[in-house]
Chains A and B, each alone.
Chain A
Amino acid sequence: MTDSIVEHFFRHEYGKLVAVLSRKVGVQYLALVEDAVQFALLSGVELWARKGQPENPSAWLYRVAHNQLVGELRQRQSRERILGEQGPTIEDTCEDAQVLLSDDFSDDMLRMLFVCCSEQIPHQSQLILALKILCGFSIQEIASRLFLTEANVYKRYSRAKKTFKTAPNLLAENLDKTYVKRIPAVHKVLYLLFTEGYLSSRSEYTVRQELCDEAVRLTAMLAKHRYGHVPETFALLALMYFHLARMASRQDDAGSLLLLHQQDRSLWCAAHIQQGVFWLEKSAQGNVFSRYHAEAGIVVEHCMAPSFQETRWDNIVSCYEVIEAAAPSPLHRLNRAIAIAQWQGAEAGLALLKDYSAPAWLLDSFHWNATLADLHYRAGNRALANNYREAALKAAPNAAQKALILSRWRMLDSG
C-alpha cells in the first residue's frame, strides 16, 4: 500500500497550521507555534511511514500540533506565572479540526499574510516572512532561493518577528480599514515573490517554478477573499498566469535562455492563458488602472499574438507609457524603447533614448548595453553596435545571459 499525499502537502500544511494556531494564541507566540507545528509534522512522517496514514492527515496534524502547543503554553504559564490573566486563552478542545477540512483556513492565512506585510517591516523581510510562515520553507531553503546568506535571512526573520510582539491584534480582530490600507504592500510582496522566481536566471527551473507557484497560490487565495477582492489583485493574478503560461518555453532543452521570438509558442500553456484572460476580464472594473493592469496588458498581447511579427506592439507601447507614469523607472523607459523599435523601427526606439539622461547604474548594465547594441545594429550603425556589444558582454551577470547575447549576435550577423 502506498500512502500517496498531494504534492507539497507538508509545506502547505505547515503554513496552514501556523496561521490557524497563531490566530488562536496570538502572533506574539509565533516561535512556539512554529515549534509545535514542526513537531506535529515530524511525528506524522515518522508514525505514518510505519503505521500508515490516518484517514484525515490534516486533522491529525492539527490535533497533534494543537496539543503540543497547549502543553507548552501551560508549562510556561506555571513556570513563569506571567501569562496569568493576559496570557493566551486556548481551548483544550479540538473542534477547530473541522475548520481545516473546509476552505476557511484561507481566512487565517490571509490575515497572516497581511501581518507579514506590516509597515514597519522592510519589503525584503516581508518576503522572507511569507516564504517562511505561509509557504513553509526553512531558513536555509529561503536563503538558497533568494540568493542571500543564511545568516542574513535568519537575522531578517528574527528582527521581523520581534515587531509581531507589538502588533498582535490584526490576527484576531476585525480591522477592515487596516486591511484596505495594507493591500498595496501585500500586492507588492506577492509580485516580488513571483518575479524572484520568474526573472531569476540564477537557479534551476524547478526551483524558480516553485516560487511562482507559491505566488499564484497566495494571490488566488487573496483574489477570492473579501480582503483582497479588488481589481488590482485580479490584474496581478492575470499577470502571473500569463507569465506562467510562457515559462516552460523560455529555456531550451539545455537550459539556455531563449528570446521571445525564438520561443516555441506551441509550448505556451493554454490553460494558464485562459486563467489569465478570466482574471484580466475581472480586473477591468473600477476606476484604477494600476501598474499590474498595464503589465498584464503587455503580457496578454504577447500571449495572444499568433507570432512575434504579428504582435500588436502599439498596444504594448501604450501600456509601457502607463507603467512609466505610474512607477517611473529607467528600465520601463528602456522597455518602451524596445517595444517602439518593434512597432516603428529601430530608429524610433533609439530616438526615445537619445535625449534621455539615464542613471549611471543603467548605463553600466547588461540590459542597457545589450539593447543599444541591438537597436544600433538594426539601425545600421555597426561601429556603435560593436562598442555596446563589448560593454554588454562585460556587464552580463552570468553565463546564461552571456550565451544568450552571443547567440543573438550570431543570428543577426549571419542573417
Chain B
Amino acid sequence: MPSNKYFCIVRSESGSCEPPSPAKMEAMYAKFNTWKDTFKDNIVDMGGKLAAGGKVVTADSVSDGPFVEIKEIVGGYMIIAADSMAQAIEVVQASPGVGGVGSSVEIREISHA
C-alpha cells in the first residue's frame, strides 16, 4: 500500500442537469468498475455520495447548508493512497468522478504531522 493518504472532495455544479439515461448509466458503471480494478491498491475508502442539504454549525449558531449561492457543491468524497501527489492525480484523473460536465475533484494530502 502506498505511503501517503489523500482526501478527495468531489464537486459538481449545483442544479445538475438531466439525469443520465440508462445507457449512460451502464457506461458509468462499467467505467467505475474498471477504475476500481485498475487502482484497487490505491483505493482506501470508496467514500460515498453526500445527501443534499445539511447544517452548518458554529459555536453559537446552526444554519442550513451548504450555501446555495456556491456554484459548485460538494457531492461526494473518497480516500485514496498514493506515493506522491502526482500519482494521486493520476488515480483521480482516471476516476469517473471527473468525467461529468462541471464536476471536479479536489485532492488534499492527509498530513502526517
Q: Is the CB of A50 within 8 A of B48?
A: yes
Q: Is the CB of A11 within 8 A of B26?
A: yes
Q: What residues of chain B lie closer than 8 Å to A14, measured between beta carbons?
A: 22
Q: Is the CB of B26 within 8 A of A50?
A: no
Interface bits A15-26 vs B (CB < 8 Å: 1, else 0) = 000000000000
Is B29 interfacial (CB-CB < 8 Å)?
yes
Is B69 interfacial (CB-CB < 8 Å)?
no
Q: Can you give 17 A-B contacts (C-beta < 8 A)?
A: A5-B29, A10-B22, A10-B25, A10-B26, A10-B29, A11-B23, A42-B20, A42-B25, A45-B25, A49-B33, A49-B36, A50-B46, A136-B23, A137-B23, A138-B22, A138-B23, A140-B21
Given contacts A2-B33, A138-B23, A140-B21, contact A45 B48 (CB under 8 A): no
Q: Is the CB of B33 within 8 A of A13?
A: no
Given contacts A45-B28, A50-B46, contact A11 B22 (CB under 8 A): yes
Chain B's closest residue to A48 (CB) is B29
Q: List A199-214 residues whose CB lies under 8 Å from chain B.
A: none
Q: List B42-57 residues whose CB lies under 8 Å from chain A.
A: 46-49
CA distance A41 to B27 in the complex (A): 13
Is B19 interfacial (CB-CB < 8 Å)?
yes
Q: What residues of chain B lie closer than 8 Å to A41, measured between beta carbons?
A: 22, 25
CA distance A137 to B22 in the complex (A): 7
Is A55 interfacial (CB-CB < 8 Å)?
no
Is A8 interfacial (CB-CB < 8 Å)?
yes
Give the 7 A-B CB pairs with smallest separation, nearest first.
Answer: A138-B21, A49-B32, A10-B22, A11-B22, A136-B22, A50-B46, A10-B26
Q: Is the CB of A46 within 8 A of B49?
A: yes
Is A3 interfacial (CB-CB < 8 Å)?
yes
CA distance A137 to B49 in the complex (A): 26
Is A356 interfacial (CB-CB < 8 Å)?
no
Besides A45-B25, A48-B29, 20 other A-B contacts (C-beta < 8 A): A2-B37, A8-B23, A10-B23, A10-B29, A13-B22, A38-B19, A41-B22, A42-B25, A45-B28, A45-B29, A45-B32, A49-B33, A49-B96, A50-B47, A136-B22, A136-B23, A137-B22, A138-B18, A138-B24, A140-B21
Q: Is the CB of B21 within 8 A of A137?
A: yes
Q: What residues of chain B lie closer than 8 Å to A48, measured between beta carbons?
A: 29
CA distance A138 to B19 in the complex (A): 10
Q: What residues of chain B lie closer than 8 Å to A141, measured between beta carbons?
A: 21, 23
Per the CB 8 Å criterion, the residue count for chain A at the interface is 23
CA distance A172 to B18 in the complex (A): 32
Q: For the complex formed, measure the closest distance between the CB of A58 and the CB atoms of chain B, giving whole angstroms.
A: 14
Q: What residues of chain A lie closer than 8 Å to B18, measured between beta carbons?
A: 138, 140
CA distance A406 to B37 in the complex (A): 50
CA distance A239 to B18 in the complex (A): 38
Is A361 interfacial (CB-CB < 8 Å)?
no
| A10, A13, A138: most-surrounded residue (chain B CB, <10 A) | A10
Q: Is the CB of A8 within 8 A of B26?
A: yes
Q: What residues of chain A lie closer than 8 Å to B37, measured between beta carbons?
A: 2
CA distance A38 to B49 in the complex (A): 17
CA distance A8 to B28 in the complex (A): 13
Q: What residues of chain A lie closer than 8 Å to B49, measured between beta carbons?
A: 46
Interface bits A107-147 vs B (CB < 8 Å: 1, else 0) = 00000000000000000000000000000111011000000
CA distance A38 to B23 in the complex (A): 12
Q: For the complex formed, measure the closest distance between the CB of B8 and the CB atoms of chain A, giving whole angstroms.
A: 14
Q: For the complex formed, measure the closest distance between the CB of B31 and the CB atoms of chain A, giving whole angstroms.
A: 9
Q: For the complex formed, measure the closest distance between the CB of A159 and the CB atoms of chain B, giving whole angstroms.
A: 20
Interface bits B3-39 vs A (CB < 8 Å: 1, else 0) = 0000000000000001111111110110011001100
Q: What residues of chain B lie closer than 8 Å to A46, measured between beta carbons?
A: 49
Q: For the complex formed, measure the closest distance between the CB of A142 and the CB atoms of chain B, giving whole angstroms.
A: 10
Q: What residues of chain B lie closer than 8 Å to A3, measured between beta carbons?
A: 29, 33
CA distance A8 to B96 in the complex (A): 19
Q: For the complex formed, measure the closest distance between the CB of A3 and the CB atoms of chain B, giving whole angstroms.
A: 6
Chain B's closest residue to A136 (CB) is B22
CA distance A45 to B22 in the complex (A): 10
Q: For the complex formed, measure the closest distance between the CB of A171 and the CB atoms of chain B, giving whole angstroms.
A: 21
CA distance A13 to B26 in the complex (A): 11
CA distance A300 to B24 in the complex (A): 37
CA distance A42 to B19 in the complex (A): 9
Chain B's closest residue to A3 (CB) is B33
Chain A's closest residue to B46 (CB) is A50
Q: What residues of chain A lie closer than 8 Å to B28, measured between beta carbons?
A: 45, 49
Q: List A18-63 residues whose CB lies under 8 Å from chain B.
A: 38, 41-42, 45-46, 48-51
CA distance A48 to B96 in the complex (A): 14
